[in-house]
Amino acid sequence: MAYILIIYSIYEFLKFLFLATLGDIITTFKGNYDSPERDKAVKRDLWIFAKSVIALIIACILF
């Protein structure tokens, strides 16, 4: 179970890196730093990062 959580944590972290980078690139081209769309994307990215950290902590506890 711990190994599955570690793999899931790595997957979520990579997804976070990809989406955060992509979101920043799109925001730079559009120039919409203060838009509600950007706020939703930031909240989504923070939730993905939190899931990654939580999964890693649980995996460490299971070891």
Three-class secondary structure assignment of 23-57: HHHHHHHHCCCCCHHHHHHHHHHHHHHHHHHHHHH
d(CA 27, CA 51) in angstroms, rounded, equals 24
d(CA 15, CA 30) in angstroms, rounded, equals 22
- The pLDDT value given to residue 55: 95
Per-block mean pLDDT, blocks of 10 residues, the chain (63 long): 92 92 80 78 91 95 90
pTM to 2 decimals?
Answer: 0.81
The distance from CA 9 to its chain's CA centroid, rounded to whole angstroms, is: 10
